[in-house]
């Protein structure tokens, strides 16, 4: 029989939940949390019982028998000293999620929620591909500022999931391939995958501009703005994240609206959209230099990858350099389920969390 997995993905305003049987979802929902719903809870962890109860209520309404589950997986949180893949939710990881995360984020509840469901059933609880998974090569960590060391920060979950999907379509293993993944969302992150390890990445504030991020800029320009006296720190942060990129240039980050404006002859919108494509292609190009072997392909994924106009322009820039494939969407629930299925089937080995987690061999 196919394994049954409860998948939990807590966000700031919702908790997504689904039950997968093998590779296919049986039931799914998105439970919305209003500001009023969350107001009684002073800290993030105070929300744990509330969110667990909501999911239990939904499963009850669906008349789903929890004793048929084989495992539970939660979205990986903002956890220090962690590598990609699955982690067993044990006492060490629970302590970290409760007391030692890098910063507060709703995904920190994922592992705690998974444990709350799994422990009474005596089945395993996991997290998978946390955002802060970091396997950069030592040479990729060095910057020109001696006070600053680079860390990896990209959409690990969807990036690795699309790599697995692409490899499977070719009858190959992700661990045997060299790939570059550009995750095109509200922010754009790009990662270099060498034989199953993310050896380098460009974070969503360090590469292409995006729907609402400014991306990388000449630092002298930014320095001048910071010390001009015209902007507060909070205003500069908004320019970098939230009110930058296409939002700043066009007043919208909706690709459908932008493409409609282009169709009506808006030359400025057309130029900005072409610039967005160029920036993505240049970001991918920066990751091509991370490999000493030929790469097997470039994958464009994320919500913006649904725009055939945008991805078509990116392919125009790159097609003579490398193979480019488009796998649109974020697919977080599926990625969590399929990752856990690989753990249950023995195709991958789950990690155990330690405060200092050694990197895999280079």
- 45-100 pLDDT, tens digit per residue, is 999 999 999 999 999 999 999 999 999 999 999 999 899 999 999 999 999 999 99
Q: List residues bridging with 351 in a β-sheet.
A: 87
Question: Cα(first)–Cα(last) distance of the chain, in Å?
Answer: 38
Instruction: Specify the pLDDT at position 183.
Output: 96
Tokens in use for 138?
């030592």
Q: What is the pLDDT of residues 268-282, one digit of tens each?
A: 999 999 999 999 999
Burial environment of residue 93 by CB neighbours within 10 A (0 to 12, 13 to 18, 19 or more): buried
Any idea where the domains of the chain sit in the sequence? 4-133+333-344, 156-329
Q: What is the pTM of this model?
A: 0.90
- Under CATH, which number does the domain 156-329 receive? 3.30.420.40
Ranges assigned E (strand) in the chain: 4-10, 14-21, 24-32, 71-75, 86-88, 125-128, 178-184, 188-194, 197-202, 297-302, 324-328
Instruction: Specify the pLDDT at position 355.
Output: 73
Looking at every residue in the chain, the average pLDDT score rounds to 94
Query: How many CA atoms, within 13 angstroms, populate the side-chain half-sphere of residue 312?
Result: 3
Instruction: Specify the pLDDT at position 131.
Output: 86
Kindly indicate the confidence band of residue 330, based on its pLDDT and cuts at 50, 70 and 90: confident
Question: Out of 3.20.20.80, 3.30.420.40, 2.60.40.10, 3.40.50.300, which CATH number does the structure's domain 4-133+333-344 have?
Answer: 3.30.420.40
Q: Tell me which residue of 132, 102, 123, 138 sits closest to 6, measured CA to CA.
A: 123
Q: What are phi and psi of 346, to 5 degrees?
A: 75, 15
Ranges assigned E (strand) in 54-101: 71-75, 86-88
> Picking from 22-26, 101-105, 281-285, 294-298, which range would have the lowest pLDDT averaged per residue?
101-105
């Amino acid at each position: 029989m196919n394994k049954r997995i409860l998948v939990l993905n807590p966000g700031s305003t919702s908790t997504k939940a689904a039950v997968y049987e093998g590779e296919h979802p049986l039931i799914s929902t998105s439970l919305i949390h209003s500001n009023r719903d969350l107001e009684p809870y002073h800290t993030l962890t105070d929300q744990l019982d509330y969110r667990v109860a909501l999911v239990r209520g939904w499963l009850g309404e669906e008349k789903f028998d929890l004793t048929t589950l084989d495992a539970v997986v939660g979205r990986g949180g903002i956890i220090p000293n962690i590598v990609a893949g699955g982690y067993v939710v044990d006492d060490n990881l629970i302590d970290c999620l409760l007391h030692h995360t890098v910063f507060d984020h709703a995904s920190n509840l994922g592992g705690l929620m998974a444990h709350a469901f799994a422990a009474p059933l005596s089945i395993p609880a996991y997290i998978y591909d946390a955002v802060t998974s970091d396997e950069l090569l030592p040479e990729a960590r060095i910057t020109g500022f001696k006070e600053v060391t680079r860390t990896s920060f990209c959409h690990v979950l969807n990036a690795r999931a699309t790599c697995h999907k692409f490899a499977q379509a070719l009858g190959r293993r992700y661990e045997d391939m060299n790939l570059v993944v550009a995750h095109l969302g509200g922010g754009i992150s790009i990662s270099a995958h060498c034989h199953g390890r993310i050896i380098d990445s460009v974070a969503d504030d360090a590469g292409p501009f995006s729907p609402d991020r400014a991306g990388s800029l000449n630092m002298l320009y930014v320095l001048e703005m910071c010390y001009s006296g015209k902007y507060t720190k909070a205003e500069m942060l908004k320019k970098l994240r939230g009110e930058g990129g296409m939002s700043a240039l066009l007043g919208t980050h909706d690709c459908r609206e932008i493409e409609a404006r282009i169709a009506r002859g808006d030359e400025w919108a057309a130029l900005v959209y072409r610039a967005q494509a160029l920036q993505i292609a240049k970001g991918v190009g920066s990751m091509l230099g991370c490999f000493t072997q030929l790469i097997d392909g470039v994958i464009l994924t994320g919500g913006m990858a649904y725009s055939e106009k945008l991805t078509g322009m990116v392919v125009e820039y790159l097609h003579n350099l490398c193979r480019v494939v488009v796998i649109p969407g974020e697919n977080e629930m599926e990625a969590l389920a399929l990752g856990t299925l690989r753990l249950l089937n023995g195709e991958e080995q789950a990690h155990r969390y330690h405060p200092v987690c050694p990197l895999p061999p280079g």
